[in-house]
Amino acid sequence: MTQVFVTGMGIISALGQGVGENLNRLQKGKSGIGSAKNLQSNYASLFPFGEVDASNEELAKMCASSTPLGRTDLLALIAFEEAINNASLSNEELSSYDTAIISASTVGGMTDADILYSDIQSSSGSSSYIDSYSYDAHLMNIIKKYKMKGFTATVNTACSSSANAIMLGARLIKSGRVKRAIVGGTDNIGKFTVNGFNALRILSERPCMPFDKDRSGLTLGEGSAYLVLESDEIVHNKKIYASISGYGNTNDAYHPSSISPEATGIINAMNTALNSAKITAHEIDYINAHGTGTENNDVSEMKGLTKVFDKIPPFNSTKSFTGHTLAAAGAIEAIFSILSIENGELYQSLNFKTPMDEYDVLPILEHKKEQKINHVLSNSFGFSGNCTSLVISKVI
């Protein structure tokens, strides 16, 4: 049976650029959530955000992009390049038919509302943003830049998108159709999503408080993360960070924008992931929860956890560090899960004070070292009932 190994990781989030900076902040318990500097919106000062601390010009410098790109595209390129360098992929390997690339973005360049709007209204010729609103514009840039030729897909299951990109990449490798898949997602904070989530009244005026009784909504974040997945037959002496050992994708079939109180989709996703990894619930050492901090998500997710686990293993929501990075969340949190496995440590869930009335279970409240972590469950749920869980395992 083919195994799927993670051999490269790249990330940019409110915690910084690169795996190193992100790890450092996780270990120190230092959140990236604060006031937005780059977001141009009436809400910029009304809500906290998990913004990447760099202007578009600075981001363009980081990835040496000479063509003008949108923020979503820049974030993707930066994380992608770190991942392929980390896995030491050659140009030949990148453009091999054996290398798939699967990405995710919930709104693409639609976040650049003003520019798009003036583009549509203007009668003048084309602008560089004309094609950037599509959901896969960021990926087409990468494909063109690295002359990639293998299977490509962009998936969109809202906030579980990049967890599904990881799952699809792993399945393609297991099918034998490709030997390698670069998988991840990207989303930036823009007027489109800020106004969308504000209209739904689920943005918190304080930094999000996952699993707290007094939680008041989510904090919007931005970022991008990519992982290089390779089949066990081609890794040779490469450094292996972890394996993607199980996955479950289900639908809650309850409501367009909220999760069922019975947690149908959540429970099915977790159970399917555990079954596909051929492990039992008590073998999970840590759960990276979806934990958005909304009233609806956290209570349903806790319901799901209590149904699947007799005793819930240590869990946190790293969205308390990064904010909710939408399509990037699944990939960012997969990397955080791998950091826990690799360093044998658990990172705290920030901003937690009071347990919910319904559940007397607490998330991880302090940085814990010297932990033996063999299997991690990472949850991602999205609008339209999309639920995905991944099992990520230590390779011994």
Binding site for other proteins (CB under 8 A): 41-43, 106-107, 110, 113-114, 116-117, 119-120, 125-126, 130-131, 134-136, 139-140, 143-144, 147-149, 151-158, 164, 168, 171-172, 175, 177, 191-192, 194-196, 198-200, 249-257, 264-265, 268, 382-386
Q: Which is nearer to other proteins, 95 or 374 (CB)?
A: 95
Q: Which CB atom, from 171 or from 307, has the smaller least distance to other proteins?
A: 171
Shortest reach from residue 146's CB to other proteins, in Å: 11
Q: How far, in Å, CA of 71 to CA of 119, rounded?
A: 17
Give me the phi and psi of 389, to 5 degrees please: -125, 140
Beta-strand ranges (E) seen in the chain are: 4-13, 16-17, 99-104, 152-155, 180-187, 223-231, 242-251, 286-288, 315-316, 375-381, 386-393
Look up residue 70 and give its DSSP letter.
Answer: -
Contact 299, 328 (CB under 8 A): no
d(CA 13, CA 35): 15
Contact 258, 158 (CB under 8 A): no
d(CA 278, CA 281): 10
CB of 203 to other proteins, least distance (A): 12
Instruction: Give min distance, CB of 234 to other proteins, in A.
Output: 20
- Residue 271 sits at φ, ψ, to 5 deg, of -65, -40
Q: Give least dist CB 105 to other proteins, A.
A: 8
Residue 231, φ and ψ in degrees, nearest 5: -70, 145
Which residues are 218's β-sheet partners? Answer: 203
* Least distance CB 198 / other proteins (angstroms): 8
Select 48 or 265, whichever has its Cβ closest to other proteins.
Answer: 265
Least gap, CB of 120 to other proteins (angstroms): 6
To the nearest whole angstrom, how small is the minimum distance from the Cβ of residue 368 to other proteins?
A: 35
Closest CB to other proteins among residues 257, 354: 257
Residue 265 beta carbon to other proteins: minimum distance, rounded to whole angstroms: 6
Residue with smaller CB distance to other proteins, 24 or 128 = 128
Residue in 391, 321, 394 with CA at minimum distance from that of residue 363: 321
**Location of structure tokens 């360049």:** 109
What are the φ/ψ torsions at residue 171 (nearest 5 degrees)?
Answer: -65, -40
Distance CA 112, CA 147 (A): 27
Which of 198/306 has CB closer to other proteins? 198
- Residue 139 or 270: the one with the smaller Cβ distance to other proteins is 139
3-state secondary structure of 354: coil
Q: Which of 194/392 has CB closer to other proteins?
A: 194
